[in-house]
Amino acid sequence: MTMSSRRTYAVGPDLQCLSSSASRIQSDFALDAYLCSSSVAKHIMDTICIPADPTQATITQTLTCASQLSSHLKYSSGIQDQGVEIFFIHQRNTWASLDVSKEMIMLLQDHFHLRHEFLQMLSFFRDRVKPNEEAFCGAARSFSVADRSHLTYVYKYPEKKEVKAGNPWRIRQTGIYHVYDHHRPSSTFVIVSPSPNAQFKTHLEDVLRDPDIRSRIFLHPTLIHAMLIASHLGTWRRYLEYYDENIIDAELSSAAANFGESSVCFQTLQRVRAVRKDILISEPLLSSTSNILSEISQFHKQVELTQGVGKDKSIIIEASLIDFQKEALSYNQHSTYLTKRAQSVEQTVVDMLDWNFQLLAQVQTKLAREDSVAIRALTLVTAFYLPFSFVATMLGMNLLEFDSESRNLVVSKQLWLYFVIAIPLTALTLVCWKWNMLQHPKSYKHGNLEKMDYASDLEMV
């Protein structure tokens, strides 16, 4: 079975209780303390009801607790026999928990008979402290149970953020669970947004003011999915263009390097690796987008087959979904090219750093050789003057005197003190030198080397 596969169930949703994955997901949801916000004051759920009559305005409502949601569901089920109802759940930001209670989620699941895939979709919107699962969307799923068709997926896309410095691009996500009732017919959407003022949420609220748009969405509810994809798919081009410019800058830096002067340093390598890491995210996300579009297309055909109206509009929607798939494929191909190009630039920077290190080692070897020549010269001069210094020292001591009358050299009886002191000191010096020579290889043997500051060495080049 592929990641995006269509399933049809001839029996009711109670069959999911027999599934081990369903029970596991239910259990994980109940135990997950990071999924829903613990602050009751932050719990909020927005609803939009689109009547079957397009001349009637949409009905919007904000619910803040489970009791309000329960009353709303009872009221809407009595009068909303035909139409589209949208429930908005959101986060404060992409890494925050959902601003809704678990009781409200369970009310939605029980009332609309949502399967365990609904909870699986919500699990992507939990509180995080690290950017884990940034390139993972899960599987897009469309299936039918009795007279209901279900479609669920998590759509991830880039979004530009206003920042003072650094990378302005972030990966956002929007989750959708869509239930279409073939018997009524009617549609129910649960849309999870990354923020209260998410771009798609604001755009959808604006276009629903138009009666013509409301009529089209009622007849073709998959338009909402197409609108979501269209709202963010084009940003992939600007996202990849930003990293393309970074790669070009790194290429120019490495190309401008010359003997004796180079603008390539360890920070250049870090930037190229960061670019390659961010580009790698785009490949699985764009592949997931293609799978999502395939599931939307299958779901759309099933819904249109039931309604049997607006065939021309249905063909237009289907053609739009195909165009979106082609566009996602083109971005994916460009992403693959940029990844290989970044790898090539990274290898070039590494080679340039190696060359700079070799050049630095060559210069240091030359300086060491010059120092060695100077030391040998100094040693030779010292050896030449050592006998003269020794004789001058001996003659300058009080232990030796020159008798002016006899013109003879008079040796003191305490001359032995000179040798008694000098010989032990010489022996002690030799012992210390030998001990130091024995300790030096041991430090290498036992690994007691001081840590080198490689960053400072790299900065030198």
pLDDT of residue 234: 94
C-alpha span between 234 and 244 (Å, rounded): 16
How sure is the predictor about 446, in pLDDT bands with cuts at 50, 70 and 90?
Answer: low
Q: Which of 91-105, 365-379, 382-396 has the highest mean pLDDT?
A: 91-105
Torsion angle (degrees, nearest 10) of CA 346, 350, 352, 356: 150
- Cα–Cα distances (Å) from 342 to 220, 269, 276, 347, in that order, read 43, 11, 6, 9
Q: Write out pLDDT tens, residues 208-222.
A: 999 999 988 988 899
- 102 versus 395: the higher-pLDDT residue is 102
pLDDT of residue 308: 59
pLDDT of residue 9: 43
pLDDT of residue 82: 64
What is the average pLDDT value for the chain, to the nearest integer? 82
pLDDT of residue 174: 95
For residue 166, pLDDT beyond 90: no
Tokens, residue 55: 């001349």
pLDDT of residue 52: 82
Look at 182-191, 307-316, 432-441 and tell me which has the smallest mean pLDDT. 307-316
- The CATH number given to 6-354 is 3.30.460.20
CA nearest neighbour of 343 among 420, 411, 275? 275
Q: Amino acid identity of 96? A: A
- 151 versus 457: the higher-pLDDT residue is 151
Look at 118-127, 228-237, 429-438 and tell me which has the smallest mean pLDDT. 429-438
Report, as an integer, the average pLDDT of 445-449. Answer: 50
User: In 241-280, which positions are buried (b, 16+ CB within 10 angstroms) versus exposed (e)?
Assistant: ebbbebbeebbebbeebeeeebebbeebbebbeebbebbe
pLDDT of residue 256: 62
pLDDT of residue 79: 63
Domain boundaries, the chain: 6-354, 398-450
Q: Which of 85-89, 385-389, 434-438 has the highest mean pLDDT?
A: 85-89
Q: Write out pLDDT tens, residues 102-122.
A: 999 999 999 998 988 999 999
- 430 versus 301: the higher-pLDDT residue is 301
C-alpha span between 170 and 132 (Å, rounded): 13
Report, as an integer, the average pLDDT of 58-82. Answer: 84
Question: 195: number of CA atoms within 13 Å, CB side?
Answer: 11
How sure is the predictor about 236, in pLDDT bands with cuts at 50, 70 and 90?
Answer: very high
pLDDT of residue 6: 44
pLDDT of residue 140: 93
